[in-house]
Each structure stands twice: as structure tokens, then as C-alpha cells.
Amino acid sequence: MKKKGHRRGSPAAPLTDWGDVAKWYDQLVGEGGSEYHQHVVIPGVVRLLAPRGGMTVLDVACGQGVLCRILHRGGVKVTGVDSAAELLRLARMRSDASIEFIKADARDLAPLGERVFDSAACVLAVQNINPIRPVFAAVSRHLVEGGSLVIVMMHPCFRAPKTTSWGYDEQQRVQFRRVDKYLLPRKEPIVTHPGSAPDQYTWTFHRPIESYVKALRNEGLLIDAIEEWPSHKTSEAGPRAAAENTARKETPMFMALRARKISAAVVPAKREQETSHGRGVQGHQQDQV
Ligand SMILES: C[S@@+](CC[C@H](N)C(=O)[O-])C[C@H]1O[C@@H](n2cnc3c(N)ncnc32)[C@H](O)[C@@H]1O
């Protein structure tokens, strides 16, 4: 992935959008979503958003617009923002012309001007953006009081890339999830085509759950729902199928948070440190991302 420069009006850290892997991501997601979007993520997001006809929803880091299309079918007035121009081009190509797609860095959302929305969503993207405080500050500015932000991410405890993995205990015949690291924030490059294009990668930023709770609360967004969703898949055959199915059901793959914007008058004045343990994002490489 090419290194991207800082942009005027955006936070100091460079953009880590998915413009360079847009074609690959668009093929993976397609018109109606990847397998995980279809079976787990989108049904969960729609339930937490509880959309109604005429409601306005902002889809933050919308990618090629999969959630926007589904909400639009239910009569929602949806606006998608992403900082990857190529993903927005594909989003417009795949979607009804009445869905608005705007190029914006989720960390400032300046192109939205003074607009406010009834609700917002950020699906499988918050772990690709750093830092998160300005994302929540910007979303909060563009939400009506009482409006909700629904966030879905890979489960930070059990699904962090490279530091969590499946294992199998032969004696107990138990499949388990091994967690090597959890509490300290860090970043990892994820290569999209390990064999054929080792230079194509995206960044994943790991943070413990407390970082999300504190960063949201600092921006007047109070969590009123947390859900943990397992994979929908099942193993049919093989000597470990039963153990695999138990482990899949017991070990959530995704975590969803819903936070509601409270009145500015009751936002606590004292901001909390986002992590009580770490020293900010620990890097795989030394470059500041
Ligand atoms: C895994 S994709 C998810 C896209 C979409 N929400 C979905 O569910 O298919 C992560 C998205 O975050 C976007 N992104 C990363 N950093 C961003 C930023 N600072 N501002 C806006 N979008 C960003 C990427 O361009 C990419 O579209």
C-alpha cells in the first residue's frame, strides 16, 4: 500500500484507507455483501439501528456501499462516506443514484458541513482507522441528540490478527482460541494477497475494549448495547467437527457496540485516557501510522 500524505484539515496521522485494494475488496463484497456481511454483520447492524422509512443514516467508511444499498431498500435516506476515491466510484456504480456518497476522512468529516443525521454506522472499519478519538468526535458532531452510532468490529479479545489463533487440545479433545496479546494497542499490516502481491496490505489497529468505551464516552457517546456475534459456519465432517462447532459457538467473531449521543450539557468535563496500560499504538514497523 502506498504511503499517503497528510491532508489539509485532517488529523496528523496519515490516511490508511483501502483505495489501493479497492478492486479486490469490491470483488470480495459484491452487490449484497460477503458471506459474513450477509449471514451475521448486516442483519445485526440493521437490528441495532432499527431503521424506519425516512430516517437519515450516515455510513462511516462505507467502502463500496454494501450497507447503504440495504438500508436504502428499506426507505432510509443514507449517506456513505469513505476516503478511498476508487471505492466510492465502485459504490456509485453499484448503487441507486439517490444514495449519496461523499469523499471524506472519517477523522474530520468536514465535507458534511453542518449536516446532522438520525443515526450512524461504522461497519468493519474502525480497526482500520487511527486515531479513533477524532472519528467519534466527528460522528458525534453530525448526530442528532439521542441518535445512535452502531459500530461492528472483529472481536478485539479473540480475533486480533496474528496474536490470536485456533489450537486443539488432543487430550481433552477441545478446540480453543489462543490469545497471545490483548491489552496494549498496536498496529499490524495485513497482506491481502500473500503469495502473489506481498506489497499490497492494509493496516489493522488493535485496541482493547476499554479504549472504545472511553473514547466514545469522551465524545458524549454512551454505550447502550454491546453484542458478541459468532461465525455462522458449521463443520460437517472430520474427527474434530464437533469440537470446532463448539469452539465457533463459544468464541465470538465480531463485537458490536451501539452508543447514543447524550446532551452536551451532561458530557463529563474530565476526559479519560483511552488506555490505562499502553503508551499508544505499538507498531510492527517504526513508521508512524
Ligand atoms: C474493511 S473496509 C469496510 C467497508 C464497509 N464498511 C464494508 O463493510 O464493506 C474498511 C473501510 O475503511 C475505510 N477507511 C479507512 N480509513 C478511513 C478514513 N480515515 N476515513 C474514511 N474511510 C476510511 C477504507 O477505505 C475501507 O473502505
**Span 68-120, pLDDT tens digits:** 999 999 999 999 999 999 999 999 999 999 999 999 999 999 999 999 999 99
* pLDDT-above-90 percentage for the chain: 82
Q: What is the mean pLDDT of residues 5-28?
A: 80
* Strands, E assignment, 32-96: 56-60, 77-82
- Residue 45, ligand 1, Cβ within 6 A: no
pLDDT-derived band of residue 3, with 50, 70 and 90 as boundaries?
very low
Average pLDDT of the chain is: 92
* pLDDT-above-70 percentage for the chain: 91
User: For residue 134, what pLDDT is reported?
Assistant: 97
User: For residue 274, what pLDDT is reported?
Assistant: 76
- Residue 163 Cα to ligand 1 midpoint, Å, equals 22
Closest to 151 in 3D by CA, of 131, 118, 121: 121
More confident residue, 119 or 201: 119
- Residue 164 Cα to ligand 1 midpoint, Å, equals 23
Q: Determine which of 50-54, 185-189, 278-282 has the lowest per-residue pLDDT on average.
A: 278-282
- Residue 191 Cα to ligand 1 midpoint, Å, equals 16
Query: What does the alpha-carbon distance between residue 14 and residue 266 come to, in Å, rounded to a whole number?
Result: 33
- Residue 63, ligand 1, Cβ within 6 A: yes
Atom 9 in ligand 1: residue holding the nearest Cα = 63
pLDDT-derived band of residue 287, with 50, 70 and 90 as boundaries?
very low
User: For residue 269, what pLDDT is reported?
Assistant: 73
Per-residue DSSP letter, 110: G
pLDDT-derived band of residue 192, with 50, 70 and 90 as boundaries?
confident
- Residue 153 Cα to ligand 1 midpoint, Å, equals 12
pLDDT-derived band of residue 196, with 50, 70 and 90 as boundaries?
confident
**Span 21-71, pLDDT tens digits:** 999 999 999 999 999 999 999 999 999 999 999 999 999 999 999 999 999
What spatial distance separates the first Cα and last Cα of the chain, rounded to whole Å? 12
**Span 132-160, pLDDT tens digits:** 999 999 999 999 999 999 999 999 999 99
- Residue 94, ligand 1, Cβ within 6 A: no
- Residue 43 Cα to ligand 1 midpoint, Å, equals 19
Report in angstroms the alpha-carbon separations of 252 from 67, 152, 259: 22, 12, 20
More confident residue, 206 or 263: 206
Query: What does the alpha-carbon distance between residue 28 and residue 22 come to, in Å, rounded to a whole number?
Result: 10
- Residue 129, ligand 1, Cβ within 6 A: yes
- Residue 62, ligand 1, Cβ within 6 A: yes
Q: What is the mean pLDDT of residues 1-18?
A: 65
User: For residue 265, what pLDDT is reported?
Assistant: 67
Burial of 78 (0-12, 13-18, 19+ CB in 10 A): buried
What is the position in ligand 1's atom list of the atom closest to the CA of 125? 10
pLDDT-derived band of residue 289, with 50, 70 and 90 as boundaries?
very low
User: For residue 263, what pLDDT is reported?
Assistant: 83
What residues does each domain of the chain span?
20-166+182-237+253-263
The set of long-range contacts for 232-238, using a CB threshold of 8 Å and a minimum separation of 24, is: 232/35, 232/36, 232/39, 232/40
- Residue 154 Cα to ligand 1 midpoint, Å, equals 14
Query: What does the alpha-carbon distance between residue 152 and residue 58 come to, in Å, rounded to a whole number?
Result: 14
- Residue 18, ligand 1, Cβ within 6 A: yes
- Residue 83, ligand 1, Cβ within 6 A: yes
Return the CATH architecture of domain 20-166+182-237+253-263. 3-Layer(aba) Sandwich (3.40)
